[in-house]
Chains A and B, each alone.
Chain A
Amino acid sequence: MMRRTGVLAATAVTLITSAAIGQSKIAPPPPPYAGAYQPQGIDEIGLWREGDEDERTLANSPILLRDEALNNYVKRVLCAAVGDDRCRSVRLYILRVPLFNASMAPNGTMRVYSGLLLRVRNEAELAMVLGHEFGHFEQRHTLADWKARRSSSDLLSWAAVFAMLGNTYQSYSNFDSLQLSVYGRLAHFNRDQEREADALGLGYLNRSALRPQAASVVWQNLIAEQEASALAKGVRKPNFNKVAFFASHPPSGERAAILAAFADPVGADRENGVTRYAAALAPWLPTFLDDQIKLNDFGASDFIILSLAENGWTAPLLVARGDLYRARGNPRDLSQAAEFYGKAVEMDAKLPDAQRGLGLSLIKTGRRTEGQAALRQYLALKPNASDAAMISMLAQVARGQ
């Protein structure tokens, strides 16, 4: 799988580097840190206040992951990327949302989705995304974007009134063109902000103790995942190099290429922090995988599980793959699921979820006796399971027969 990703990445990189960049240079180091920033002017103070109110709600949100170890770890990665002084102005929140994303509010509230943690493989990749978000904060992008939207809507409002006063075909047609170009410009503005944040994120990473070459891999993996998803759905592969008119972000292909080209070659020998990352994520991995599987995106979920298993299968990974196949539920999927669960049981017979999945998929494929034995194992391992009553019914029917 790694090799496939690698080849894909290489093609993407060669395709775009030549066109978009011309010559490779290194992302510049970030500007000197100006110290804790305070908002200035009515608009910015107002936006920060809105951000404060949102943060109040966020801090009490039921989807927030409050695990201190995980929170401290992710915060440490952010600090390792942007430096301790910058890091202090950020409050980091991990949300249990199975999507690849993170965001930054103007007041320094950083939201990291669990889907991002599931998709990155090491500290350097995570640091790239967190640094990108910090770049938005340092450059006060939300404010600039908000001002751009305000002036655009001001302009369009006046244009609408004049079009109406003109009340001719031409005036309405002019308005339509103006509207398109204003919206197009806004989207372009947004993409440029993302490019700037990418450059800043990479700038931090170049200066840090982590390997900046990892930055590009984030996008290469994302491309590969989306390709896998499209393949499983049987739809056309998305074009990763084309800029859609209203796209808020630059295409992933372009981002992968630029990040690869601008990474400091001096840092190529630095460490990625793979083992530390895997260890920190391990307690949450089954939960995050379960959330991902429930998205019902077979190709993407299978891609993620396979890429996690690159360095060897573990029982939780096999259980996740079994769950994925069992959820799709074709007869062929069920027999494969039983195989995955079976391997998981071989590796760790004390894993309740493996026994449960094995039992359920065996029963569905007609191997009732074996299945019920596995379900009884599950009940013995986890007598207080929330589905214990239902499972014991399934397990005991056989006994009665």
Chain B
Amino acid sequence: MKILSRAVAAFLVAGCILAPATGQERTATKGGFNLAPQSGKTILVFRPTVRVGAQSTGGLFEPNADWTDQARRNIDDALTKRQQTLGNKVITAPVSYGEDAQLVEEYSALFAAVSRSVIQYQFFVGIRLPTKKRDNKADVFEWSLGSGVGALPGAKNADYALFIYNKDAYGSTGRKMLQFAAALGGVGVKSGEHAGYAGLVDLKTGDLLWLNADGAMGGDVRGVDGAEKRVGQLLEEFPGSVQPNLAAAQP
């Protein structure tokens, strides 16, 4: 083999592995957890993490404030709209200050770390955590943030917390041209990244009840319709939600 220069490979791969969950989608629900529709539970939604931008030719994320603003607005609206199909009461977490805000920040970071661990070590084929190997084999989904979540502002009046992460990088013209040129040489270059995950946490025990991760989602969050589609995908198989009847919708 020639020096299929590690650098060359690394460079092209770098663009592709940004989203480890490329083209994959997984959902898991904690064993025994069942949320019946209209069961009168309250779900607290924390400020979603939204990052929208472009992807440069070299694969860098180019943040775009305008798109991010639009997406945040659209996703918020879509969440409100979707409330009916979620089957339970969805409220936005109160704006907090001081120590409360610090707590929210810590738990948001903890949720991000835990859900990334789930995505990396359990959801998709790859590295496994030694302590979680048995869980993976037995298909056990058991992760927790600890019962301290009960101290979160607004937690007293709610049953569950919903955290949402969404990142979009739209392939720039340069990236698309590179993709095309590379394809001529038989090399796959990925253009664009549309990844996100959403998780439901029990506010009494801190257990992660449901997590949905999608490395390649549809729907353009910069538009109202696209954002609705995106939120639909993020909350796919949400416990207790009314499943849209796909068979009826499709001719």
Contact = CB atoms under 8 A, between A and B. Distances in A.
B36 interface: no
Interface string B176-195: 00100110110101000000
B127 interface: no
Interface in A12-68: 42-43, 45-50, 53, 57, 59-62
Nearest to A39: B65
Contacts of B8: 160, 163-164, 172, 175
A50 B51 CA distance: 8
B147 to A, nearest CB: 19
Contacts of A46: 53, 62-65, 68
A285 B3 CA distance: 55
Contact of B5 (A61, A161, A175): A175
Given A163-B5, A164-B185, A172-B4, A157 B178 contact: yes
A62 B65 contact: no
Contact of B57 (A48, A154, A165): A154
A42 B56 CA distance: 13
- Counting chain A residues whose Cβ lies within 8 A of the other chain, the interface size class is 35 or more
Interface of A: 42-43, 45-50, 53, 57, 59-62, 149-150, 152-158, 160-161, 163-165, 167-169, 172-173, 175-176, 179
A59 B99 CA distance: 11
Interface of B: 2-5, 7-8, 11-12, 15, 51, 53, 56-60, 62-66, 68, 101-102, 104-106, 109, 174, 178, 181-182, 184-185, 187, 189
A171 B57 CA distance: 20
A49 B106 contact: no
B193 to A, nearest CB: 15
Given A42-B64, A48-B65, A60-B104, A154 B174 contact: yes
A168 B4 CA distance: 9
A161 B185 contact: yes
Q: Of residues B51, B63, B106, B181, which shows the largest number of chain A Cβ atoms within 10 Å of its Cβ? A: B63
A167 B106 CA distance: 50
A154 B60 CA distance: 9
B4 A45 contact: no
Contacts of B66: 42, 45
